[in-house]
Structure 1
Amino acid sequence: MSTTFVVAGGCFWCLDAAYRQLQGVTEVLSCYTGGTTAHPTYEQVCTGATGHAEAVAVTFDEEQIPAGVILDAFFTMHDPTQLNRQGNDVGTQYRSAMFPADAAQTAQFEAARARAAEWWPGELVTTIEPLGEVTPAEDAHQDFFAKNPTQGYCLAVAVPKVNKVRAAFTQYLR
């Protein structure tokens, strides 16, 4: 059974790269959601004025990887205790947020957030927000890490996040 979760935790390049390491993940779409501007562009989202977050829509096969693993990986690949930022990426567009499509996903997201609160020191700031319009990011942002593996940001920020997921979820690696 195919399921899609939409989550945001800093720059979508990092989330995209980390999720693509996991078996059962069939698609990762870098996108914008959670804001008020219709069909925003990357440049608009970067201003922080649209209300949108850089997010990913992760589609996966629950027969190959449990939904809980997808969500636990989310809480592993970013720091959910940083409000409106991840490292040097600052602004509401980099917030830690989950966007459920229905009540069942809301319950799954709440359970995952509660599990993560047990292993993260400090208070989690991850919000659970209604899933509104999802606008795909521009083509240049799709699978960015694979296209730009030696880019400075990828080496400094994405690689450590990918490595954290690889170390924590070895049984689910491709």
Structure 2
Amino acid sequence: MNENLDKNSALLERATLGGGCFWCLEAVYQQIQGVKTVVSGYAGGARPNPSYESVCTGVTGHAEIVDIVFDPQIVSFRDLLEIFFVIHDPTTLNYQGNDHGTQYRSVIFTHGEEQNQIAHEVVQELECAKIYANPVVTQIEPAPTIYPAEAYHQNYFQQHPNQGYCAAVVAPKLAKFRAKFKSLIAAPYA
């Protein structure tokens, strides 16, 4: 990923999240005020420069992720995690809906100790509040090397809103997000 994000990059932070298909996460996080970029990609595996085809086999160990650059003065890492835990099921190990395999695992790849601490706090709060009937299985790990997905995966929902998977899976997640987090939606999407 490009570390030279823009002139104000010192003020920006990164969040790297995996929770099923990256098209779902990307569509949601692109609509949040304070989010500057969302790149679909792969992280957490052993092989360098994985392809979508190799990740789909499950043998590379990578998760489908979104790498988010955001302005913490507008939206916090905690806000991003609260959204994350609403738009996917963090209690299912290695699958979301009909998407099965380790590439669809629930994972937070943290960028620094502060994010690690916040991620653990949020999971603990969810467990104490008994939000879910089953335990949260979301992995929390330091961010590894992140590989951008192929160009045709970027902005996928924006380009293909009527494609079958997008209409049946992505759109309902987006609607759930929009209903619960109205105050965080960026102006063009509000």
Q: TM-score range by the shorter chain?
A: over 0.9
**Pick from 89, 109, 120: which aligns with 1:79?**
89
Q: Which amino acid aligns with 1:43?
A: E
2:181 is the alignment partner of 1:169: yes
How many residue pairs were aligned?
A: 174
Q: Is the 8 A contact 1:28 1:59 kept in 2?
A: yes
2:143 is the alignment partner of 1:131: yes
2:31 is the alignment partner of 1:21: yes
TM (norm. structure 2) is 0.89
Q: Is the 8 A contact 2:77 2:115 kept in 1?
A: no
Q: State the percentage of identical aligned residues.
A: 45
* Higher Cα radius of gyration: 2
Counterpart in 1 of 2:6? Answer: none
Distance 2:31 2:53 in 1: 28
**Pick from 53, 62, 67: which aligns with 1:52?**
62
2:160 is the alignment partner of 1:148: yes
Q: Is the 8 A contact 1:34 1:130 kept in 2?
A: no
Distance 2:111 2:32 in 1: 22
TM (norm. structure 1) is 0.96
Counterpart in 1 of 2:109? Answer: 99
Instruction: Give the superposed CA RMSD.
Output: 1.0
2:19 is the alignment partner of 1:36: no
Q: Which amino acid aligns with 1:145?
A: F
Distance 2:21 2:75 in 1: 24
Q: Which amino acid aligns with 2:173?
A: K
